[in-house]
Structure 1
Amino acid sequence: MRSQEPRIDPEAARPYGWILALVLPFLFAAALPAASARTAEEWLDFVDRNLLLLHAEYSATMTIHHPDGTERRFAFNAKVAGDKYALLEYTEPPRDKGIRYLKREDKLWIYFPRQDRTLMLQGHMLRQGVQGGDLSYEDMTESSSMREMYTAEVISENDSTVTLELTSNDPSVSYPHRTLVIEKSSGLPLKMVFAGLNGRPIKEMEVVEASTIFGRRFPVVSIYRSRLVENKWTRFELSGVRFGVEFPPDTFTQRALSR
């Protein structure tokens, strides 16, 4: 049965997660108080608005470094419509070429062309690492804004950055605590530490290279590093970014996933 055409409302799009493989910042932030006068909540609003999405497509590489020194490299193309819909297709390595991910709302499907099989991930399966890396499927499908998910407190500040301590309103989430370092001038999240209920760090994300498009800075190279396993990290690098792309109505459907 052919899936219903998704109704995509760009105005309702919200940021989700920190997976750079599926999302890119786009819209200008709305007017906010002067940097020196912002509260912790206003800084979260700044980050949320800076990461607001519309239609985009891009290419990316993901390099997974294992503790024994071995590495696996993946390349893929992605199409994104707001925070609700995304379609990703692997182009490298050859054995994974053609594997596709489809995100619709908070659901995620994976299509394996060699077996002509589709798998829907749900529950605890979403907490597994993508291709054994440091980013989980749950990170990929997270769709709530930072302001909705967390209460915030400013714990340090200097001329260029501000650091927030975030505590989840829901202790059952994967990361009840986060520490976020924000670039004041742009609202770009430079670093984030993800921690469990006991406050112990699980992993961290750091932006190592940023670029500017339409006057807005966004991360093009980021590294997710495990805080539980030594010398284990995942690097994301984006290229060929295009915004304002018009996608056919059936782009984010089960039909597109398996064709």
Structure 2
Amino acid sequence: MKRFFLFAAMSLLFCVSSLPGAHAEKAQVLVEDAVNYLRGETSRAVVEMTIHRPDWERTMTIKAWTQARENSIFWIVSPPKDRGNGTLKRGDEMWIYNPKVNRVIKLPPSMMSQSWQGSDFSNNDLAKSDNIVDQYTHEIIGTETHEGKTVYLIRSLPKPGAPVVWGMQKLKIREDHILLRQAFFDEDRKLVKALTMERIEMLGGRLYPVKWKMQKAGQEEEYTVLDYQSLEFGVNISDRMFTIASLKNSRF
């Protein structure tokens, strides 16, 4: 009799965990944990951005600070001609600063889909990099393995009326919270571009994807790579860092 009740209890637990709602809840947690893992509560980083095209290549060094999932500020350190150009993200709003004319511009919605500094990352990618957590519903559609760890394949669809650009996103999230791929689809569910994470190494005290590559669909010779040179989590950052006054005063 005890065996029967134990078997019945385990069967019930399996059935409950297999319900669509349970899968959706697990997918939501996976996405939230992955976003939080990438950003931490606060961070400071030095990143090299390389924009590659068939007939030219350009590399910039960027210093960046982030606070939770809402705020970030970064400046271009090199090359000299771009030094001091800054970008401030606060919530869903974004400002850019050009030191040559000493002018701060708040980007209107019409400019959010434009390229940031000629790269394959748009202003919208930077300003709304975290809206996938709250503006999409998530579903686990499969699993695979990577370096001996389970990878969850997740399909994310916009919630009704959500103010988002993408008609669908597909994610690959490893069981240890590392995002391996984020693919972006238009309203017709056609792939537009994909962000892949590579070279997982110890950085900032945790395993972290050191190389990020954004590439448009069907464009093998056009891509942008972010290569992390240094990264610190849990740094002490004042709220005053994420202000327009701070944006005009480069922190190198």
* Aligned counterparts, 1:64-143, within 5 A: 64-66=51-53, 68-142=54-128
Aligned to 2:169: 178
Residue 134 of structure 2 aligns to a residue in which SS?
helix
Matched, 1:234 2:224: yes
CA contact (8 A) 1:47 1:188 kept: no
1:85 partner letter: N
CA contact (8 A) 2:156 2:170 kept: yes
Q: Which moved more, 1:204-213 or 1:127-136?
A: 204-213
Give the Cα separation in 2 of the matches to 1:254 and 1:172. 25
Give the Cα separation in 2 of the matches to 1:249 and 1:200. 40
Give the Cα separation in 1 of the matches to 2:162 and 2:235. 38
Per-residue deviation at 1:84?
Answer: 1.9
Residue 64 of structure 2 aligns to a residue in which SS?
strand
Change in 2 beyond 3 A, CA 1:214/1:233? closer
Give the Cα separation in 2 of the matches to 1:56 and 1:47. 19
CA contact (8 A) 1:41 1:147 kept: no
CA contact (8 A) 2:215 2:224 kept: yes
- Taking only the aligned residue pairs, the percentage that are identical comes to 25
Unpaired segments ≥5 residues, structure 1: 1-35
Unpaired segments ≥5 residues, structure 2: 1-16
Give the Cα separation in 1 of the matches to 2:163 and 2:242. 30
Aligned to 2:7: none
Aligned to 2:190: 200
Match of 2:50 among 39, 59, 63: 63
2:184 partner letter: F
Per-residue deviation at 1:79?
Answer: 1.2
1:232 partner letter: E
Give the Cα separation in 2 of the matches to 1:146 and 1:58. 23
TM-score of the two chains, using structure 2 as the length reference: 0.80
Give the Cα separation in 1 of the matches to 2:131 and 2:208. 17
Aligned to 1:21: none
How many residue pairs were aligned? 223
Give the Cα separation in 2 of the matches to 1:205 and 1:249. 30
CA contact (8 A) 1:40 1:164 kept: no
Per-residue deviation at 1:211?
Answer: 2.6
Q: Larger helix proportion, structure 1 or 2?
A: 2
Matched, 1:162 2:146: no
Aligned to 1:11: none
Question: Which structure would you say has the larger Rg?
Answer: 2
